[in-house]
């Protein structure tokens, strides 16, 4: 995966461990950041507009924390920013010329047809006729 700096990595490290809350560095007091915090919104392509970290009705809202001088992502949804996770995974799984698409929360079934859980991201390479050639799965 490519190493990209988050907004939080460029800020001064505060005394508390929180780097991003509801998608913004904790020292960002802009109207946009306040709107996201007040409305409990997620800017990182969650399935719904709101943050669902921990609890849907009272979300935690912490996207990343400081660990010494490093910013560490703590929410799996945070990896969906600009869908770089899918692009990076596709470049790992498939040749550069591959046609591909991705799906999220793909349900797995056991041999009895019962749910065995979900895979976070599944990437599928296909040919010009839409036939599946290969696939890769990511569990965040």
Same domain, 71 and 25: yes
Asked whether residue 5 carries a pLDDT value surpassing 70, the answer given is no
- Give per-residue pLDDT as tens, 16-49: 899 999 999 999 999 999 999 999 999 998 888 9
- Give per-residue pLDDT as tens, 42-90: 999 888 899 988 888 889 999 999 998 899 999 989 999 999 999 999 9
**What separation in angstroms does the CA of 129 have from each of 84, 119, 125, 132?**
26, 26, 12, 9
Q: Name the token pair of 76.
A: 């799996």
Count up the domains in the chain and report the number.
Answer: 2
Asked whether residue 27 is assigned to any structural domain, the reply reads yes
State residue 2's pLDDT score.
45
Asked whether residue 139 carries a pLDDT value surpassing 70, the answer given is yes
Same domain, 12 and 75: yes
Q: Domain of 53?
A: 7-79
């Amino acid at each position: 995966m490519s190493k990209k700096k988050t907004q939080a990595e460029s800020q001064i490290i505060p005394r508390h461990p929180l780097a991003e809350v509801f998608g913004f560095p904790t020292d960002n007091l802009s109207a946009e950041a306040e709107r996201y915090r007040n409305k409990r919104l997620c800017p990182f392509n969650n399935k719904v507009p709101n943050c669902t970290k921990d609890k849907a009705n009272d979300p935690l809202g912490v996207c990343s924390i400081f660990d010494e001088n490093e910013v560490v992502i703590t929410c799996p949804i945070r990896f969906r920013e600009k869908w770089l996770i899918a692009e990076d995974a596709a470049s790992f799984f498939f040749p550069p010329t591959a046609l591909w698409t991705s799906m999220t929360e793909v349900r797995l079934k056991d041999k009895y047809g019962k749910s065995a859980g979900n895979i976070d991201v599944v990437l599928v390479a296909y040919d010009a006729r839409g036939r599946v050639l290969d696939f890769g799965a990511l569990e965040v």
